[in-house]
Amino acid sequence: MPIPLPPKKVSVTSRDGISKLWHTPVNQYYTREYYIDTRPDLAQALPLWLDFAHEEHCYKNYYRKREFSELFSIELVLEGSMYFKQRDHEYRVTQGEVFLILPDQNMELAIGPENHCRRLACCFSGHSLGSLLDSTGLVEQDVVSPRDFKLFEALMRKCINELRDKSPGFRQRASVTGYEIMLELGASVEHFDKSVLLIKAVDLLEHHLSQKITLPKLATALGSNPTSLFLAFHKKFGMSPINYFIKLKMEAAKSLLLNTSLPIHDIAERTGYSNQLYFSGEFRKRVGISPRDFRKRNGMIQGIV
Give tens-digit pLDDT for 137-165.
899 899 998 989 999 999 999 999 999 99
Residue scoring higher pLDDT (136 or 77): 77
Whether residue 193 is predicted with pLDDT greater than 60 in this model: the reply is no
Backbone conformation region of residue 125, classed left if phi is above 0, alpha if psi is from -120 to 50, else beta: beta
The beta strand positions in the chain, using DSSP E, are 11-13, 20-23, 30-36, 49-59, 63-67, 73-86, 89-94, 98-101, 107-111, 116-125, 143-144
Average pLDDT over residues 233-250: 91
In terms of pLDDT, which residue wins out, 197 or 253? 253
- Residue-level pLDDT at 18: 72
pLDDT score for 253: 93
pLDDT category at 194 given cuts 50, 70, 90 is low
Residue 22 has what pLDDT? Answer: 79
Confidence of residue 2 (pLDDT cuts 50, 70, 90): low
| pLDDT tens string 92-129 | 999 999 999 999 899 999 999 999 999 999 999 999 99
How far, in Å, CA of 98 to CA of 45, rounded? 28
Q: How far apart are CA 175 and CA 179, in angstroms?
A: 6
Domains by residue range for the chain, with CATH: 11-190 (2.60.120.280), 208-305 (1.10.10.60)
Amino acid (1-letter code) at residue 22? W
Which of 169, 198, 182, 164 is CA-nearest to residue 35? 164
- Taking all residues of the chain, what is their mean pLDDT, rounded to a whole number? 89
